[in-house]
Amino acid sequence: MLINWLKERRRREILERPFPEAWVNHLRRNMVHYTFLSGAEQQHLRNLTQVFVEEKDWEGCGGLEIDDEVRVTIAGQACLLLLGLDHVLYRNVGAILVYPSTVLPTSMGYDGQVQRGPMPILGQAVYRGPVILVWDAVKRGGAHPRDGHNVVYHEFAHKLDMLDGTVNGTPPLHTKEQYAKWAAVCTAEFNDLRQRSERGRKTFLDPYGGVNEAEFFAVATEYFFDQPVQMRRGHEALYEVLMSFYNQDPAERERRHRAGG
């Protein structure tokens, strides 16, 4: 296809430009997980980031001015999810809207749900629409790599989920067996999370993941990258289905990082 060819050529041109040193510093400072990556992974992430920054439309809202720090920080975190995927660089994301701090959601719920009154949010992935993010939450999530919360991972996980046209907590997988295993493991974990939180018991995942299957996948993705060692220890089956989808092993990466390698 001519369009694809042009796109490929354009991407090659983007990648011929050097990756600015200032951008590396943005990644290091605002995305601590970047420092956990191997040299090859960092290179791959920088390439994805460079194309992502260029191809997406960036819009500052509520007085926020978009600059390289905003673009690179969001692009880097979003692209971490793609490191092991045969991806399409979020072809379902055209624009990213960034607010300085807490925003009220638009009336467009990603799954068509009616919003009950204005409720502050840190981000939103609009189905067939933009990703909306709050800059102070993005920075907070990226700088605290082990608290289980990262709004960029969360919203871009929704976008991966949406790639197959349904928002049901299952991103596009490869084989029938993969779908079967995914459904079995995620259903059990989802029900367990709901039951425990209904009874007021402590849960590993944020109880927000019990709202529906789509939120479950987005929340589980946050923990998979933010608290991988704990997830592997306490929820091994969930860790494994996520690992087989993302084709990454963040727990091993973190272990290596802690060992100083």
In angstroms, give the least distance from the CB of 208 to Zn ion: 8
Query: How near is the Cβ of 46 to Zn ion at its closest, in Å?
Result: 28
Token pair 């502050």: residue: 120
| Nearest residue (CB) to Zn ion, 47 versus 115 | 115
Q: Which is nearer to Zn ion, 215 or 254 (CB)?
A: 215
Smallest separation (angstroms) from Zn ion to the CB of 2: 37
Token readout for 205 is 């995942």
Contacting residues toward Zn ion, per CB under 5 A: 215, 218
Q: Which amino acid is at 10?
A: R
Instruction: Find out whether 132 and 156 touch, Cβ atoms under 8 Å.
Output: no
Segments in the chain forming alpha helices (H): 2-16, 21-30, 39-55, 68-80, 135-143, 151-162, 176-198, 213-226, 228-234, 236-246, 250-258
Least separation in angstroms between CB 74 and Zn ion? 16
Nearer to Zn ion, 124 or 227 (CB): 124
Task: Answer whether 47's CB lies under 8 Å from 160's CB.
Answer: no
Q: Closest residue to Zn ion, Cβ-based?
A: 218
Which lies closer to Zn ion via its Cβ, residue 47 or residue 212? 212
At residue 91, what is the residue type?
R
- The whole-angstrom separation of Cα 35 and Cα 18 is 20
Q: How far is the CB of 57 from Zn ion (least distance, A)?
A: 22
Nearer to Zn ion, 72 or 126 (CB): 126
- Strands 123-125 and 131-134, sheet pairing: antiparallel
